[in-house]
Structure 1
Amino acid sequence: MPINYNWENFNRNKRSLTLDLSKEAGQKIIYKMIEDADVFMTNLRLWEREKFLLEYEQLKKCNPGLIYASLLGWGRNGPDKNNPAYDSLAYWARTGLGYMFSTPGMPPPIDGGAFGDNVAGLGLAFGVMMALFVREKTGMGQEVDTSLFHTGIYQASFFLAGALTTGLDLADWRYQSREEVPNPMVLPYETKDGRWLLPSILHPDRYWPRLCRALGREDLEHDPRFESNDPRLENHTALLHILEEEFRSRTLEEWKPRLVREGIPFSPYQNLVEAVNDPQAKANDFFVPVDHPVYGPIEVIANHVNLSKTPASKPMPAPEFSQHTEEILLELGYTWDEITRFKDEGVIF
């Protein structure tokens, strides 16, 4: 069977227990686990939590110090609170993010997978840490919740702040073509070898002389059309065409040292294989090895937060389906006879 890379990446350091929560015995096992748990985390919809007796008000009765971490699609209130949700719906489409990255007159762009899932998970983890800190000080457990929808709204705040304040749809953020962008020094450019390079010159007056030197076009520095910000804005289309021509005159590798020498903020556009082989990523240990029992040595993406005194240990591989069910039940004090009965009754798999 081919390796499921996303499963291995997102489920390393986890154990797998399978339970049928529609059965009373399955619910009792969950409650037994919760008695000594620090955190219970769920993405079940609200009606599913009610069905399986997994609401916070129920669980805190057997563990008052429990941190109940809840990730919903649409939030815990409102008419859509129990609707199914995916990243593409709640994070991308409904928040305005997809709209802001669309081209007027064209269909909305296809979203990239798991952007909202990852960010919402990070937000929930941050909330859990705050709740654990409060519990350390007070002994008090509590519920922590966020949603894909709220996460998307938060991520879109750079765009939404104006609409929230003015009530206006600030569609002027969107451009139909490169020629409309007033600052062409923040656009990607194709190089001689068909690669793409992105300068990010957000302070044009500061970097304009440097860019002219990097281009080998010192004559442009004092060109009346471009020598200060106002004429550059007025003649931005002419500047765009000059930059397009100049960047096509050298390869990406030829451009890199010239831009670095002048301190120009820039980045190449990389494909996925280039990204995972990026020397800068390698130098900072963005990827960590895992010894997989079936596939041998593989690499997964490292946690992007580093602790100097307590660095992350080498991760365990992702589990097989139900791999640790018996192990966990034994840790909870169940006997082999009880485990066999659970299997016979379809409580575990």
Structure 2
Amino acid sequence: MKALKAIGKVLLGVLAAILVLVLIVFGLRAYNGHKYPITQSMAEAMSSDKSTYETSEHITTIEGEYLNGFHFQPADKKHRGVVVIYGGSEGSPDYSRAKQLFDAGYEVLSLFFFGQPNKKPTLANVPLEQFDEVTAYIADHVEDPAPVTVIGTSKGAEFAALLAAHGYPVDNVVAFAPADHSYSGLDFTSGEDFPSFTDKGEVVGYASFRKASISSGAKMLWDMATGYPVSYRATYESAAANASDGARIDLSDFDGNVLLFAGNADQMWQAGIAARALAEQGDNIEAHVYPDAGHVFFPDAEKLPNGWQIMLGGTAEGNRAAHEASEKTLLERLAEWHG
């Protein structure tokens, strides 16, 4: 009887501790959600809902077997070839950058690479060979189809670099916040560790989050649970440090132009380190790493909701300077490549 009472006290103690932990977590979520609204704002900033984007006579929706996005066709095309643009892990087609280049006289394809009804639903097991359909579309719908420049940001930069590394018909690559490794997919629904990308049914080697340090993973999960702005950098750094050579993105055989933009203070992942590592692979790879910039080069970061400094990194002035410098260099290089 005494043993049962002792066990009962232990169980009550455990339940009380769990209740206290739950209350702490919910309290912190409420506090952090109020103090750091950046997390919700970032989720709403760029939409994966195709219907939310404006179309017109010169901006039309396109859809195929796996192809999905928008075709920007300027009435007065000033540059030959086509620019293909992908967003990042938010699942957008980076419509705003496409619109900017369209206004400058470029023909642009602004594309989703996952998250649409005819695509992989999450950023996991995303096929590189979807670009074959993009190539076919360009041949059929662009009067002067060369050169082809692919621009990607963050996970879209990883995707763009892998296209070049795996021999897809790309002439130039521009990567904002690049990676020099491929990483685990961002699908946590089943508990399995998926790759981000596959190529013709084969897994593209990747740095697994499961090989990241326990401390970085625990910190990330705690921040996620309590609604604190999450810096994923430590997890990505640890995963890369413990990855096999097969997870590295190898551009040494790519003979096109590669232009990289990174913030050295990026808190999402180690884009500055990645840009420098990629630049060592060839003289055709040009890296611009800005010391006080983060994951996104906001021109007016001071207007963002609080918490962006923790989640994305950099200073307001550093990000503004990186935005101005990178946009200038981007337009110069595109003009050189596309005439």
Interval containing the TM-score (normalised by the shorter chain): under 0.3
What is the TM-score of this pair, normalised by structure 1? 0.23
Higher-Rg member (1/2)? 1
Of Structure 1 and Structure 2, the greater strand share is in 2
What is the TM-score of this pair, normalised by structure 2? 0.24
